[in-house]
Amino acid sequence: MAHERLSIGAEVAASLAAGGPVVALESTIITHGMPFPQNLQMARGVEQVVRDAGAVPATIAVIDGRLSVGLDSAELERLATAGARAAKASARDLAPLLARGATAGTTVAATIRIAALAGIAVFATGGIGGVHRGAERTFDVSADLLELAATPVAVVCAGAKSILDLPKTLEVLETQGVPVLGYRTDEFPAFFARSSGLRLDHRLDGPAEAARAIALHRALGRGGTLIANPIPEADALDGAAIEARIAAAVAEAEAQGVAQKALTPFLLARIVDLTEGRSLRANIALVRNNAAVAAAIALELSRLTPR
């Protein structure tokens, strides 16, 4: 059974038992999203952001065939140094990876699944996966969207990764019944850029309001909530400039036949090169910002939840 493979760190377990605020954090950003040592510095820095905001961080990964929730310092370093040599685990990959005792970074979909098993209600990430450009030919749609629809975890993100088809991503989220709530914004953020030009139906203007919406959606009995939080203005990249570089990276991927699990890491790495590192700095800034917002929401949500 899945719960027999669940390992929850002592600090996270104590906070959950007390009804305290906990924020789940994914690990493919460590293994496949950034190079070493920036990935380790980022992971430790994001955990500290959560702590500074009054919540407990719970970085999630598969470690030696265990669903590990709340990695210790040595486990974080092990993942960071392994990088892409570690497996990349979406929700569908968890059982076979557990069966063979593997170690893997967990995607948004897998992290949502494991967070729910552990009883964690709020998860911070950079950007969710979504509908890839050209999906009308490839049918490449991220499992993140379906997991969000099925699992009652609130995900704080800077929108979907801007390498994706954002209008189609929003359409799938609407079809799946996932509330997409702008956090102090009326537009869906475009990851590296604050604006996509895509207006949202609902806006939240603070963590207490977000916590109430999350709690009410959970009470309705189905699926998760997406909190769309724009990258801070000081760290945002110019939308037109980043779009040109994304288009170039997508063309390279198509020419080289890069697809499926390899596509997103390839595109993000090429965009780092094409922006001379500016996209990496923006990525780190938006993850830290999302972690701070998620911690504030988790704190408010813990006050609403009976102990």
Is 88 among the catalytic positions? no
CA distances from 292 to 52, 131, 301, 302 (A): 8, 27, 14, 15
Q: What is the mean pLDDT of residues 127-150?
A: 93
Active site residue 26: yes
Q: Which of 2-11, 73-82, 237-246 has the lowest mean pLDDT?
A: 237-246
Question: Is the whole model's pTM more than 0.85, yes or no?
Answer: yes
- Going 273 to 277 to 282 to 283, the CA torsion angle's sign is positive
Checking if the pLDDT of 141 tops 80, the result is yes
Asked if residue 215 has pLDDT above 90, the reply is yes
Write phi, then psi, for 195 (nearest 5 degrees). Answer: -125, 140
* Tens digits of residue pLDDT in 110-125: 999 999 999 999 999 9
The one catalytic residue among 47, 75, 147, 161: 161
User: 26, 47, 75, 300: which is the annotated catalytic residue?
Assistant: 26
CB 59 within 8 A of CB 25: yes
pLDDT at 23: 98
CA pair distance 252, 197, nearest whole angstrom: 26
Q: What is the pLDDT of residues 258-300, one digit of tens each?
A: 876 677 778 778 888 888 788 889 999 999 999 999 999 999 9
User: In the prediction, which pLDDT does 238 show?
Assistant: 85
61, 68 contact by CB (below 8 A): yes
Q: Which amino acid is at 12?
A: V
pLDDT of residue 301 exceeding 60, the answer is: yes
Q: Tell me the average pLDDT of the chain.
A: 93
Over residues 127-155, the mean pLDDT reads 94
Fold of domain 2-304: Indigoidine synthase fold (3.40.1790)
Tell me if 298 sits within 8 A of 122, measured CB to CB.
yes
Per-residue confidence band for 33, with pLDDT thresholds at 50, 70 and 90: confident
Listed residue (138, 136, 211) closest to 181, CA to CA = 211
What lies within 8 Å, CB to CB, of 84 at 6+ separation is 31, 32, 265
Q: Report pLDDT for 305.
A: 74
d(CA 26, CA 115): 10
